[in-house]
Amino acid sequence: MALMTLVGLPFEWYMFRTTLLNYNVIPGFEELIARCIHEETREEEQEMPMPKGPPAAFSSHANKRNNSETKSKGKVGPKAGRK
């Protein structure tokens, strides 16, 4: 059944099919279906357009830096008279 599934995959999946067949052990049907679903999800994620601007992690870091700089501008330094 697993071989029939591999034969039924579209031509664009040749790399996936070749990779599986190079292991010398064909996975069971359930594992094969799970790998196909994973591969399809991975391909869909690659086709999604990237959002414009910097990635969220970088913009979050930049926002924290910008906010800390604006807060520190009003500070004068250590108080006089403290030992």
Q: Domain tally for the chain?
A: 1
* Residue 55 counted as domain residue: no
- This prediction has a pTM of 0.50
Q: Which of 23, 24, 33 is nearest to 1 (CA)?
A: 33
Mean per-residue pLDDT of the chain:
75
Domain-embedded: residue 4? yes
What pLDDT score does 30 carry?
92
Range of the domain at 44: 1-49
pLDDT cut 90: percent of the chain above it: 7
Say if 57 falls within a structural domain: no
pLDDT(17) > 80: yes
Residue 14, in any domain of the structure: yes
Does residue 5 sit within a domain? yes
In a domain, 29, yes or no: yes
Tell me the pLDDT tens digit for each residue of 27-77.
889 999 999 999 889 888 888 776 666 556 666 656 666 666 555 555 555
18-40 pLDDT tens trace: 888 888 888 889 999 999 999 88
